[in-house]
Chains A and B, each alone.
Chain A
Amino acid sequence: MPWSASSLRLHVESALAGRVVSPFRFKEATAPLTVPTGIAALDELTGGLPRGCLTEIYGPACSGRTSILQAALAVRTQAGEACALIDAADAFDPVGSQGAGVFLPRLLWVRCQGIDPALRSVDWLLHGGGFGLVALDLGDVSPRLVRQVQLNVWFRMRRAVEDTPTVFVVLAQHSNAKSCASLVLRVEKETDSWSLPVQKTAQRAFHTPGCLLNNSAHRAEMVRSFLRNKKTLFIDRPRSRDSSETARFLLRSDRQFNQDQLHTAPELQTVEISQERKRNSG
């Protein structure tokens, strides 16, 4: 017996009762609110980290992923929001983060030794709600293990964070969340800037501070974004590295050295002093 449209509708609605409020009502897709990352160039590129969405930041080791997360945590904790960091490899640096502006009493740090406890912790925290930013750091976990995480796990996390004010950030070496991520950033390091460009020039005539890490330059590419449409790529034209989907940013070191200091006190940096210091360090 053929079903009428109204009876079909009634049947579907009664079957989904309690799970879906109104299955036939069109839900307008509204742009999520965004919060700043703490790095101006990235904010300009992405428009900020979207709330209620999964943001994936990936890249190789030393590419600047942790620095971006650290900056975002600093902004959110200083705004008075509670944040959570699920550290799958126990790699977080509280001392450096406090120096970068992270207000540690508002940061819940979960130190895991493995990916399974980390995923379980994230699930509980996202379902508990109330956090401004939840970060899952899989940066030092083997990419093979992270790839084994089922896609439905990422879907579950995305659903958990949906329609909440929580920014959910995942750090990894490769992109894994696929279409579950609303914003995907690929970061890589370009150069490191040292106070002396070539080590040989220092020779042994210099002891500390003869050569210091000043800053490092990084590049971020926006691989996916629901907020901004990507530009059309043409097959016959080479893909420009300096397109509007990439941004360069500079990260400063704690031990940044002023070049002027190097030139104003050269007489202190002698071999004798260096050897004397080595003999009597205290």
Chain B
Amino acid sequence: MTFCAIFVPNFSLQAVERAEPALRNQPLVLLDGPAPTFRVIAVSERARLLGVSNGLTKAAAAEFSGVLLRLRNREQEAAMHAALMDAAWSVSPRAENTALDIVVIDLAGMATLFGDYEGIGLQIQSRCSELGFHVQVAVSENPETARILACASPGPTVVPAGQESQFLKPLPLELLAPSEELAEVLRRWGITSCGALAALPVLSLSECVGQEGVHLHAIASGKGERSLILAEPTHTFEEFLELDDAVEELEPLSFLLGRLLDQLCARVAARALAIRTIRVQFELQPDFEEAFDASREILRSKQLPGSFHCSLALPRPTQDSKLLLKLLRLRLQGKPPHAPVQKLWMYAAPDRAFAVQGGLFQPAAPDPDKLELTLARIASVVGENNVGSAEVLDSNRPDAFRTNKFSPLPVSDHRRKNDSANAAEVPIKAKIGFRYFRPPLAAYVEISDGCPVRVSWKGNTGKVVHAAGPWRMSGQWWEEHAWHEDAWEVELSFFGKTTLSSGVYYIVFDVLQKKWFVRGSYD
């Protein structure tokens, strides 16, 4: 068995830098603790050069000119841990969630897929770098040795079988994470390195410090054998971003959304998946007037900030973050959040990546990604319900249809479906086309002997040359939207000042409203 440990140095700091990449080369100082007494828990390399160290108070850290202070963010750390697990699962399905900043994976059989162990280590580092953080990697025959070596050196470190103790020998004892009492005892004995601990006789150590000492002795000797506690792969992807200053404009907001989408797409791609649905949640800044209106009941209790949701379902799973960003932007342009955005959550529901083999004789169809974007653009101009493919409803009501989302399947897929409306069953006929007037135009109709003889609407008057009807139709009288009408097909010959020429029109007498309408024309 061979194990690989992946360690994220400066985990809390890297989590903040991953969320805000602009902070990467800045003197960043991370604070944590109860509200008034914040302490420095992590510093970047540039801040260390300026003289900032762990344990300083917030006020003391702020004295250093140029340092950027940030609070530790648990949600960003959780997102980075999830990304770390995704990187591990991208290499091996057998991964142990050892700690927030350490993952150990089983590399048994992986050499045939990825090459030698050093190559695997480099690949893991490269993948983590794509996900926005850097890691230290070590490969060994037992998981504990791999874990300690990953924490000790940037790597990738590959330990040949049987040489674990040699690699562990110079490492400091703190890497074994002994309890405080044991560390004090060993310090008094003058034991400071793993090699010195491994050199002690086990029986005497057991008598003096108990089982913990024996366990650490085994690890220091390179014999830390154990089984991995495997983590179950998750199928939810979540990213989070908290802003110092709320964002109101769509342009900077889309920049932030793009960053989150890049991170999500990289994670999803690392797992060989694609995004089917994206859900965005914003926590909105409370309204200024509301926040300072003392008379409001809401201020007496804890005020809940407003939130805004927006979701996007794709007909075809994709890993293209640019496409997703464009679609989200179009969606937000149509329905923007009503207040400045303070926090952002983005959730992705994954699906298997789409793969299709195009046929040589298959007719060309629009590229699904491009089509989705085009439809979103059109929908932002004409409205969501005005784009799609029509579906005729099973009703006698005239013009009964609904609009579905347009997604042209390949010919074979449609033919497979047992659809009564299959085109193959409907022969092509050169039939008279009909044009609807939506909404129907109110008309004045002269009746003679029960038959229309003259029709006028919108300044056009036509004499009826031929008429067919009335076709009496009614339905849904048991519902609120009952309809009842007498329809006529009339051939009109226009006279006077009109732009219309003679033709056949479809007029109806709405029995419920007692009014005449022109519903359309045959063209």
Residues of chain A whose beta carbon lies under 8 Å from any beta carbon of chain B: 38-39, 60-71, 74-75, 77-82, 89-113, 117, 120-121, 124-125, 128-132, 139-140, 143, 165, 189, 192, 194, 199, 203-204, 208-213, 215-216, 249-255, 277, 281-282
Q: How far is the CB of B103 from chain A (nearest CB, A)?
A: 43
Are B428 and A78 interface neighbours, CB within 8 A?
A: yes
Interface residue count for B (Cβ, 8 Å)?
77
| A96 and chain B: residue at smallest CB distance | B434
- How far is B370's CA from A128's CA once the two chains are assembled, in angstroms? 6
Please name the 10 residue pairs, one residue from A and one from B, whose CB atoms are nearest each other, closest first. A62-B503, A130-B366, A66-B433, A103-B423, A94-B390, A80-B411, A66-B523, A67-B433, A101-B428, A111-B386
Are B363 and A81 interface neighbours, CB within 8 A?
A: yes
Are A107 and B390 interface neighbours, CB within 8 A?
A: yes
Are B474 and A62 interface neighbours, CB within 8 A?
A: no
Are B423 and A101 interface neighbours, CB within 8 A?
A: yes
Per-position binary interface string of chain B over residues 377-415, scored 1 when its CB falls under 8 Å from any chain A CB and 0 otherwise: 110011000111111100000111101101011110010
- How far is B377's CA from A68's CA once the two chains are assembled, in angstroms? 29
Mark out the residues of chain B between 414 and 455 whose CB falls within 8 Å of any chain A CB in the assembled complex. Answer: 414, 421-424, 426-438, 449-451
Are A98 and B426 interface neighbours, CB within 8 A?
A: yes
From the candidates B363, B375, B430, name the one contacting A38 in the complex (CB within 8 A). Answer: B430
Hey, which chain B residues are within 8 Å of A192, CB to CB?
466, 491, 504
- How far is B382's CA from A112's CA once the two chains are assembled, in angstroms? 6
| A75 and chain B: residue at smallest CB distance | B428
| B438 and chain A: residue at smallest CB distance | A90
Q: How far is the CB of B67 from chain A (nearest CB, A)?
A: 47
From the candidates A62, A107, A109, A130, name the one contacting B521 in the complex (CB within 8 A). Answer: A62
Given contacts A38-B428, A62-B504, 16 further A-B contacts (CB under 8 A): A38-B430, A71-B430, A90-B436, A94-B391, A103-B423, A104-B392, A113-B382, A117-B382, A121-B381, A129-B366, A189-B502, A212-B468, A212-B489, A250-B430, A254-B431, A255-B489
Are A109 and B390 interface neighbours, CB within 8 A?
A: yes
Given A96-B433, A192-B466, A104 and B389 contact (CB-CB distance below 8 Å): yes
13 contacts between A and B (CB under 8 A): A62-B503, A92-B436, A94-B390, A105-B404, A109-B390, A112-B386, A128-B371, A129-B366, A129-B367, A208-B469, A252-B431, A252-B432, A281-B472
Are A62 and B502 interface neighbours, CB within 8 A?
A: yes
- How far is B505's CA from A216's CA once the two chains are assembled, in angstroms? 13
The answer to whether B471 has its CB under 8 Å from any CB of chain A is: yes
Hey, which chain A residues are within 8 Å of B377, CB to CB?
124
- How far is B403's CA from A66's CA once the two chains are assembled, in angstroms? 21
Are A211 and B467 interface neighbours, CB within 8 A?
A: yes
Q: How far is the CB of A93 from chain B (nearest CB, A)?
A: 4
Are A105 and B414 interface neighbours, CB within 8 A?
A: yes
Given A91-B435, A96-B434, A129-B366, A111 and B423 contact (CB-CB distance below 8 Å): no
Are B408 and A105 interface neighbours, CB within 8 A?
A: yes
Hey, which chain A residues are within 8 Å of B65, CB to CB?
none
Hey, which chain A residues are within 8 Å of B437, CB to CB?
91, 140
From the candidates B391, B433, B450, name the one contacting A70 in the complex (CB within 8 A). Answer: B433
Q: How far is the CB of A8 from chain B (nearest CB, A)?
A: 40
Q: How far is the CB of B453 from chain A (nearest CB, A)?
A: 9
Are A216 and B522 interface neighbours, CB within 8 A?
A: yes
Are B471 and A199 interface neighbours, CB within 8 A?
A: no
The answer to whether B500 has its CB under 8 Å from any CB of chain A is: yes
Per-position binary interface string of chain B over residues 356-382, scored 1 when its CB falls under 8 Å from any chain A CB and 0 otherwise: 000000111111001101110110011
The answer to whether B62 has its CB under 8 Å from any CB of chain A is: no
- How far is B466's CA from A70's CA once the two chains are assembled, in angstroms? 25
- How far is B373's CA from A242's CA once the two chains are assembled, in angstroms? 48
From the candidates B371, B382, B421, B433, name the one contacting A93 in the complex (CB within 8 A). Answer: B433
Q: How far is the CB of B409 from chain A (nearest CB, A)?
A: 8
Are A93 and B403 interface neighbours, CB within 8 A?
A: no
Q: How far is the CB of A17 from chain B (nearest CB, A)?
A: 26
Q: How far is the CB of A250 from chain B (nearest CB, A)?
A: 7
Hey, which chain A residues are within 8 Å of B521, CB to CB?
61-62
Hey, which chain B residues are within 8 Å of A89, CB to CB?
435
- How far is B467's CA from A91's CA once the two chains are assembled, in angstroms? 23
Are A121 and B378 interface neighbours, CB within 8 A?
A: yes
Hey, which chain A residues are within 8 Å of B375, CB to CB?
108
Hey, which chain A residues are within 8 Å of B423, CB to CB?
77-78, 101-103, 106
The answer to whether B37 has its CB under 8 Å from any CB of chain A is: no
Q: Which of B399, B410, B434, B491 has the most CB of A within 10 A?
A: B434
Q: How far is the CB of B310 from chain A (nearest CB, A)?
A: 22
The answer to whether B337 has its CB under 8 Å from any CB of chain A is: no
The answer to whether B155 has its CB under 8 Å from any CB of chain A is: no
The answer to whether B501 has its CB under 8 Å from any CB of chain A is: yes
